[in-house]
Structure 1
Amino acid sequence: MEIRYINASDDNMKISGIYEESWKYAYKNIIPQEFLNSIERGRWVSVLDLPSWNTVVCIENGEYIGTSSFSKSRFREYPSHGEIISIYMRPEYMGKGYGTKLLEYVIKELSKHGYSKVLLWVLDDNHLAKEFYKRNGFIETDNYMNDNIGGKQLREVMFIYNCN
């Protein structure tokens, strides 16, 4: 398994495909099915090379199996925090330890950039993801924000990781 920063030779459609597959799998029964079914191929290509984001891929046997984007916190209330914006695995690789390795890599990278705390947001109804982050040292906070995805009101909960 290899985890590395994306570069110009990467296939952004395949990386976007990880998001698409993961959303359709992980958010089933959380986000309206009609919305999940309407996710277009290539939907996330445009965010992969945003200049303020870092994006890495997880590759196994030449296949893209996971991806994560991270940056300085996008939230003005947390200017000294790093943020994991997204972390997604193809469904058939979930629960096999790849996500933990990807998460550890991203935390190390944010720590190298000088962040001692890392935040991320999780849909409150995504119990599997919440347990994953807790198992990996993240602490669920009382901070939340409301979101509307596919016409459904959802709540996102902030998790914090202390790098030190």
Structure 2
Amino acid sequence: MNVKIRKATLEDVNTISNIYALSWKSAYKGIVPQKYLDELKCTFWVSSFQNWINNNILTAQLIYENELPVGCIAYGKARDDKFANWGEIKSFYLLPDHFRKGYGQKLLQTALIDMKTKGYENCYLWVLKENYNAKNFYESNGFICNNDECTCEIVQKQLVDVRYILTSVNHTKLA
């Protein structure tokens, strides 16, 4: 099996958006209202990624299995002023058939190394409180929940994100 990772370009925005939509439909089943997941378009994230990549707001990395894109991670400077000089993993998704193959680990390490070279000693990300698989993955990689919460609403359902942090103190992979 040939696996490679490369930085995404504007030509990849449709591919990234499709990966995200398919992942959402699987990973968030039973968490996000089914009506929203059923109506989620594969092009939902196209304009966001066009903006982020075109304006160097975020870096996106795609992972390929045998030349087929199967996942993406997007990261950059933290958006939260409380975490000045931190990096933030904005989003991270794999196609459902590629969960638990080690690809998430490879993408995460690529992002962490890149953030370190860009001067970010620490980083954080947000995870849906009910997404136990993702929380377990991040915890196994040294992330710690700091109990910050952010709420949003999708189709009249209140969803809570919790912040996970990774510092050079609690994780050697950033050191």
- Give the share of equivalent positions with the same residue, in percent: 36
**8 Å Cα contact 2:128-2:160 kept in structure 1:** yes
Output the CA distance in 2 between the equivalents of 1:84 and 1:6.
15
Alpha carbons of 1:11 and 1:113: their partners in 2 closer, same or farther (altered >3 Å)?
A: closer
Output the CA distance in 1 between the equivalents of 2:87 and 2:12.
26
1:157 aligns with 2:166: no
Q: After superposition, where does 1:1-150 map in structure 2 within 5 Å?
A: 1-8=3-10, 10-49=11-50, 50=52, 51=55, 52-150=57-155
Deviation of 1:60 (Å):
1.1
SS at match of 2:15: helix
Output the CA distance in 2 between the equivalents of 1:74 and 1:85.
9
Segments of 5+ residues of structure 2 without an aligned counterpart are 168-173
Deviation of 1:41 (Å):
2.3
Output the CA distance in 2 between the equivalents of 1:118 and 1:85.
10
Segments of 5+ residues of structure 1 without an aligned counterpart are none
How many correspondences in the alignment? 163
**8 Å Cα contact 2:71-2:94 kept in structure 1:** yes
Output the CA distance in 2 between the equivalents of 1:126 and 1:37.
19
Instruction: Identify, as 1 or 2, the structure richer in helix.
Output: 2
The code of the aligned residue for 2:17 comes to S
Deviation of 1:150 (Å):
2.7
| Deviations 1:82-108 (CA, angstroms, capped at 9, x unpaired) | 000000000000011000110111011
Output the CA distance in 1 between the equivalents of 2:100 and 2:142.
17
Instruction: Give the stretch that moved more between structures: 119-128 or 54-63.
Output: 54-63
* RMSD of aligned alpha carbons: 1.1
Q: Please, what TM-score do these two structures have when normalized by structure 1?
A: 0.95
Output the CA distance in 2 between the equivalents of 1:4 and 1:150.
35
Q: Please, what TM-score do these two structures have when normalized by structure 2?
A: 0.89
